[in-house]
Amino acid sequence: MMTIRQWIISIAIVTAGCNSGDKHEQLLSNATQDASCPFMTTTPDGHTVISWVETAKGADTGTLYYAVSADKGRTFSAPRRVATANGILPHAENMPKMVFKPDGEVIAIYGVEQNDARNKYAGRVYYTRSLNGGETWLPAVPLVTDTGSYDQRYFDIALLPGGEAAAIWLDNRKAVDAEGSSLYFAVTDGRDGFKKERALAETVCQCCRTDLYTDAQGGIHIAFRDIINDSIRDMVHMVSTDGGNAFSKLNRISADNWVVRGCPHTGPAMTKNKQSMHFTWFTMGGGEGVYYCQSTDNGQTYTQKQKVSIAPMAKHPQIATLADDRILLVWDEPVKQPDNTFKSRVGYQWRDGGGKVLQTGVLTTDSTHVTYPVITGVDDGTVLMAYTQRAGDLQQVRCMLVKQ
């Protein structure tokens, strides 16, 4: 029999929008389509939004869909198609994203193939806008119009405290002859789209997602994998406390000293509670796996990294703060099957507000294939998680509520 303490810190998967009480997850995407790239955001009135990409079976590109929950993830609306977000190249590290501005404008941003001879992997970022809360959508436009930019990828978007939206992305334009991309930053100007782009950093790892996060105090945080001394690919962090006019210098959150001449394809994630900033990332420098650290002084110094994952090759971490200040981390990790093949499951770790570990375990079964989880806190004790799950020869986007 469980003790009271064991019961309090145990994980319960809460039924999420299903007809049967013995089910614990909800299918969001069309079961006949290939779906991937889940992303989460919120509306100005606090409703939860999950977006994803759907492609026809065998197709290379797809269209953006999203669904809205008015009851903290227990049920969701029917999927809504973003009619002008098409030709999307599904890539879970370069997933389409949405932001809902308080003036009723909705922005969806996504990546397509560039097909440029200068870089066979080049991409281009577009965005489309709705001025009436998603009822109708304007034609998509490129995020960058400078003809010197032929490769934009690994973007992020966030709502700023004043109601505008900010975007960051990796761009081929740079003034130095060195490997890597530049990190660019732009902010919307009312309903005129993104304006006044500018570069914030150069020699950024060109193949890992970036993270843009705004805290409750108005701080704008950016984290990404940098290329240091031509060969080290470690995570760095910068912050602006004046609305994005100026950013702090780059600070390495952990001196992993990972020397790699390749593409990790796994970026950082961060969140903030009353105590500190919290970070999670994947590295193979000084040990392989998912790690965690925190900063109590808004990015001036960072604690020693702590290993989070148990399984080898755990990747793609995400982190979220609950209303009561607790922290949940999730990631995907390979799991070997009896026939010596591999599937993928989601691991988790609960931490208290100060970063102390409460419990570590797995959220999905070893017999399913689940990748790229994303999470958001919905109340004091519950986190909503969305993920991509293999179903036969297709993929589906599903969600579940996770309660501590």
Report the SS3 class of residue 369.
Answer: coil
The yes-or-no verdict on residue 129 having pLDDT over 60 is yes
Query: Vertex 325, ends 319 and 329: CA angle to 5°?
Result: 20
**CA atoms of 328 and 360, how far apart (whole Å):** 10
Within a 10 A sphere around the Cβ of 122, how many other Cβ atoms?
17
**CA atoms of 69 and 50, how far apart (whole Å):** 8
Sequence-ordered list of residues with C-beta below 8 angstroms from that of 300, at least 6 positions apart, any chain:
251
Mean pLDDT of 72-83: 96
Mean pLDDT of 282-286: 96
DSSP state of 6: H
The yes-or-no verdict on residue 2 having pLDDT over 90 is no
**CA atoms of 285 and 292, how far apart (whole Å):** 14
The yes-or-no verdict on residue 243 having pLDDT over 80 is yes
Give pTM, 2 decimals.
Answer: 0.93
Q: What is the mean pLDDT of the chain?
A: 92
In this prediction, residue 262 carries a pLDDT of 85
Cα Rg for the chain, rounded, in angstroms?
20
In tens, the pLDDT along 7-35 reads 333 334 333 333 323 336 899 999 999 99
Q: Which residues on neighbouring strands pair with residue 223, listed in sequence order?
A: 211, 237
In tens, the pLDDT along 87-122 reads 999 999 999 999 999 999 999 999 999 988 888 889
In tens, the pLDDT along 163-200 reads 999 999 999 999 998 999 999 999 999 999 999 999 99
DSSP state of 1: -
Q: Domain ranges in the chain?
A: 1-30+317-404
Q: How confident is the model at residue 127 (pLDDT cuts 50, 70, 90)?
A: very high
**CA atoms of 30 and 48, how far apart (whole Å):** 19
